[in-house]
Amino acid sequence: MGLKSDASGVNEFGYRVFKLGGFTFRRDEYFTHIDWPGGGHIMPADKFLKALIRDVAWNFFYGTVNFDEVFGTVNHYGTVEVFAGLFNAGYRASNKHHVESFDTNLARTTFEEMLEDWTIEGFDPFAAPEETGTAFGRKHGGNSRAVKRTRVVAKRMAGMQGDTPLRSDASGFPVNRHFSDVNQDEPEVHTEEGFEGEVHAFNLFAYLSRSDVTWNPSVCAVVKDSLLCPTTEEFTLPVIHGNDRVEWFVQLSDEIHWEIADRETGAPRARAVMKAGDVSAMPADIRHQGFSPKRAMLLVWENGNPKLPEMYATKQLKPNPVDF
Ligand code: PHB
Ligand code: FE
């Protein structure tokens, strides 16, 4: 039996069917089915929802968000391309790729509704696999606490007076099981007269040890275009990110394995095993996916300059920031 939908757009598994331009999105007990004129694709539902929640929360992020080797989005900052096979050498070689461009708000709203309808009770797409229930089964309940969670964005710096508060047990953020050894002492701040409210410090390790999500960078400090985005990582980065600018990683604790491939074709380029203290600059012409055997702390350093994609595309900038 196929995945039929009734007049109200709900299929026999209880899930809504969504359309975005020529794309149709359906889910059953195990899978997401994506169809477009001339093709179709199938993905495990948990994998799809974990990529979807990040694409929505990051407002399509920088550059390309590959949900897997076939389906994904490209951010053009105001419009977004939804594609199948665009960055897949096989699809491209046989001219089977399909791309449609949408107003960002329309694409995001559709994805948000899909995320909300398809996330069932007990499943948290931002959580590590050991810390969430299953994504599988017929439609039952929902998890709006998980899907409506907003990313922490500090106005000046987390913990600064009037800015986003630091996490503590009282606010419902206990220390994660993998970070029970992380020192929780806060630094003493002695401010020179006249600078009260302008000087601040906090224990970033303690802060991160209480993060309840994985693979979701929080914008923690902003100086002009310099965005410091620390995050906690466990298991697999649920998207394969195609960069449109250089991105720096500072490994703050533990270990993450990165698989790095050509952004356009997916041809493998490098492996990087990053251990605490390691720093890397991911070039502007790659795609990468991280694998974290144990919850780890990572500082993602992004350059938010909106001119960068054009500067790389027109070769005014080299894709790698450093020559050794
Ligand atoms: C990335 O694609 O560079 C990325 C995304 C999410 C993370 C870390 C890195 O948590
Ligand atoms: Fe990236």
* pLDDT above 60 (res 37): yes
Q: How many Å apart are CA 109 and CA 52, to the nearest integer?
A: 12
Closest CA relative to residue 205, chosen from 243, 237, 179, 172: 179
Name which residue sits closest to atom 1 of ligand 1, judged by CA. 241
Q: How many Å apart are CA 318 and CA 312, to the nearest integer?
A: 7
- Where is pLDDT greater, at 200 or 67? 67
- Percentage of the chain modeled with pLDDT above 90: 84
Place of tokens 């502007």: 284
pLDDT tens readout for residues 148-203:
987 777 777 778 888 877 776 666 789 999 999 999 999 999 999 999 888 989 89
At 9, the amino acid letter reads G
Q: What integer pLDDT is reported at residue 164 of this predicted model? A: 78
Closest CA relative to residue 321, chosen from 289, 312, 313, 310: 312
**CB of residue 50 inside a 6 A radius of ligand 1:** no
Q: What integer pLDDT is reported at residue 165 of this predicted model? A: 77
Question: Which tokens belong to 73?
Answer: 């989005």
Q: How many Å apart are CA 297 and CA 231, to the nearest integer?
A: 6
pLDDT band at 73 (very low <50, low <70, confident <90, very high): very high
Q: What integer pLDDT is reported at residue 222 of this predicted model? A: 85
pLDDT band at 78 (very low <50, low <70, confident <90, very high): very high
Q: What integer pLDDT is reported at residue 169 of this predicted model? A: 64
Cα dihedral sign, 177-179-184-189? negative
| 154 in Cβ contact with 160 (< 8 Å) | yes
Beta bridge partners of 36: 39
pLDDT tens readout for residues 191-250:
999 998 889 898 999 999 999 999 999 887 889 999 999 999 999 999 999 999 999 999
Distance 272 CA to ligand 2 centre (A): 13
Q: What integer pLDDT is reported at residue 170 of this predicted model? A: 61
- Percentage of the chain modeled with pLDDT above 70: 96
Alpha-carbon Rg for the chain, nearest whole angstrom, is 21
Distance 243 CA to ligand 2 centre (A): 6
Q: What integer pLDDT is reported at residue 286 of this predicted model? A: 97
* pLDDT above 60 (res 1): no
Q: How many Å apart are CA 285 and CA 271, to the nearest integer?
A: 15
Q: How many Å apart are CA 265 and CA 278, to the nearest integer?
A: 28
Q: How many Å apart are CA 48 and CA 220, to the nearest integer?
A: 27
Distance 248 CA to ligand 2 centre (A): 9
**CB of residue 217 inside a 6 A radius of ligand 1:** yes
Averaged over 277-297, what is the pLDDT? 97
Collapse the DSSP code of 106 into the 3-class scheme (helix H, G, I; strand E, B; otherwise coil) and give the result.
Answer: helix
Average pLDDT value for the chain: 94
Question: How far does CA 136 lie from the centroid of its chain?
Answer: 21
State the DSSP code for 187. Answer: P
Q: How many Å apart are CA 51 and CA 238, to the nearest integer?
A: 5
| 187 in Cβ contact with 204 (< 8 Å) | no
Ligand 1 atom nearest 216 alpha carbon: 10
Whole-prediction pTM value? 0.95
pLDDT tens readout for residues 91-142:
999 999 999 999 999 999 999 999 999 999 999 999 999 999 999 999 999 9
Which ligand is nearest the CA of 217, by number?
1
Q: What integer pLDDT is reported at residue 2 of this predicted model? A: 59
Task: Compute the half-sphere exposure of residue 205: CA atoms within 13 Å on the CB side of its CA.
Answer: 15
Question: Which tokens belong to 249?
Answer: 């990683």
Distance 216 CA to ligand 1 centre (A): 7
